[in-house]
Structure 1
Amino acid sequence: MWFDIWREPTFTLGKLNSFELDIRTGLIFIFSVLILIYFERYHDKKAPPSCGGWIPWLGCAVQFGKQPLGFIKRKSQEFGSIFTLYVAGERLTFLTDPKDFHYFFDNSDVDFQQAVQVPVQNLASISRTQFYKYHTKLHDMVKGRLGPVRVGPLGSTLSGQLNQQFDKHIDLTEPQDLMMITRRSMYASVLNTLFGEGNPLVHEKADYEEFLKRFITFDNDFELGVKLPSIFLPKWTAAKNYFLKRMALTFQQMRGQNTQSDKLNMVDALWDKLDGDEVTHKFGMLVMFASIANGVPAAYWMLTYILTNEIVREKVLKEINDVFKDWQGNGDCTIDEEDLKKLTYLKCCVYETIRLRSEGIIGRKVVKDTQIKGYNVAAGTMLMISPYWSHRDERYFTEPEMFKPERWENSNTDIPGFVAFGGGRYQCPGRWFGMMSMQTFVAMFFLKYTCTVHSPIPAPSLIHLIGVQHPTSEFLISCSKKA
Structure 2
Amino acid sequence: MELISPTVIIILGCVALLLFLQRKNLRGPPCIRGWIPWIGAGFEFGKAPLEFIEKARIKYGPVFTVFVMGTRMTFVTEEEGINVFLKSKEVNFELAVQNPVYRTASIPKNTFLTLHEKLYIMMKGKIGTFNLYQLTGQLTEELHEQLENLGNNGTMELSNLVRHLLYPVTMNILFKKGLFPTDERKIREFYQHFQAYDEGFEYGSQMPECLLRNWSKSKKWLLALFEKNIPDMKTYKSAKDNSMTLMQAMLDIIEMERKEEKSPNYGLLLLWASLSNAVPVAFWTLAFVFSHPTVHETIMEGIASVFGTAGKDKMKVSEDDLKKLPLIKWCILEAIRLRAPGVITRKVLKPVKILNYTVPCGDLLMLSPFWLHRNPKYFPEPELFKPERWKKANLEKHAFLDWFVAFGSGKYQCPGRWFALLQIQICIILILYKYDCSLLDPLPKQSPLHLVGVQQPEGQCRIEFKQRK
Which piece of structure 1 moves more, 185-194 or 381-390? 185-194
Q: CA deviation at 1:140?
A: 1.1
Any conservation in 2 of the 1:170–1:181 contact (CA below 8 Å)?
Answer: no
Q: 1:326 to 1:179 in 2, by over 3 A?
A: closer
- CA deviation string 1:321-364 (max 9, x = no partner): 1111286733x433222222221111111110110111001111
Report what 1:314 is aligned to: 297
Report what 1:223 is aligned to: 202
- The structure 2 residue matched to 1:359, chosen from 322, 325, 341, is 341
Q: 1:71 to 1:434 in 2, by over 3 A?
A: same
CA distance in 2, matches of 1:152, 1:158: 10
CA distance in 2, matches of 1:211, 1:221: 15
Q: Aligned pair 1:295/2:294, yes or no? A: no
Any conservation in 2 of the 1:98–1:417 contact (CA below 8 Å)?
Answer: no
Which piece of structure 1 moves more, 110-119 or 126-135? 126-135
CA distance in 2, matches of 1:480, 1:416: 39
- The structure 2 residue matched to 1:108, chosen from 89, 97, 115, is 89
Report what 1:382 is aligned to: 364
The secondary structure found in structure 2 opposite 1:103 is: helix
Report what 1:80 is aligned to: 61
TM-score after normalising by structure 2? 0.89
Equivalent residue letter for 2:316: T
Q: CA deviation at 1:135?
A: 1.4
Report what 1:32 is aligned to: none
Aligned pairs (5 A) from 1:318-467: 318-325=301-308, 329-330=312-313, 332-412=314-394, 414-467=400-453
Any conservation in 1 of the 2:337–2:406 contact (CA below 8 Å)?
Answer: yes
The secondary structure found in structure 2 opposite 1:467 is: coil
CA distance in 2, matches of 1:317, 1:262: 36
Report what 2:176 is aligned to: 196
The secondary structure found in structure 1 opposite 2:457 is: coil
- The structure 2 residue matched to 1:208, chosen from 187, 205, 209, is 187
Q: Aligned pair 1:273/2:253, yes or no? A: yes
- Give unpaired runs (5+ residues) of structure 1: 1-41
Any conservation in 1 of the 2:254–2:261 contact (CA below 8 Å)?
Answer: no
Any conservation in 2 of the 1:355–1:391 contact (CA below 8 Å)?
Answer: yes
Q: Aligned residue pairs: how many? A: 439
Q: CA deviation at 1:264?
A: 3.9
CA distance in 2, matches of 1:271, 1:327: 43
CA distance in 1, matches of 2:111, 2:26: 40
CA distance in 2, matches of 1:52, 1:384: 16
Any conservation in 1 of the 2:375–2:382 contact (CA below 8 Å)?
Answer: yes
CA distance in 2, matches of 1:118, 1:107: 22
Q: Aligned pair 1:125/2:106, yes or no? A: yes
The secondary structure found in structure 1 opposite 2:75 is: strand
Query: What CA RMSD, in Å, does the superposition of the two structures yield over aligned residues?
Result: 2.0
Q: Aligned pair 1:246/2:225, yes or no? A: yes
- The structure 1 residue matched to 2:132, chosen from 143, 147, 151, is 151
- CA deviation string 1:232-288 (max 9, x = no partner): 111111111111111122221122323264714123211221114843232122111
Report what 2:11 is aligned to: none
CA distance in 2, matches of 1:262, 1:316: 36
Q: CA deviation at 1:136?
A: 1.2
Report what 2:235 is aligned to: 256
CA distance in 2, matches of 1:448, 1:195: 27
Equivalent residue letter for 1:362: I
TM-score after normalising by structure 1? 0.86
- Give unpaired runs (5+ residues) of structure 2: 1-22
CA distance in 2, matches of 1:405, 1:253: 43
Any conservation in 2 of the 1:126–1:279 contact (CA below 8 Å)?
Answer: no
Q: 1:190 to 1:334 in 2, by over 3 A?
A: farther
CA distance in 2, matches of 1:469, 1:262: 37
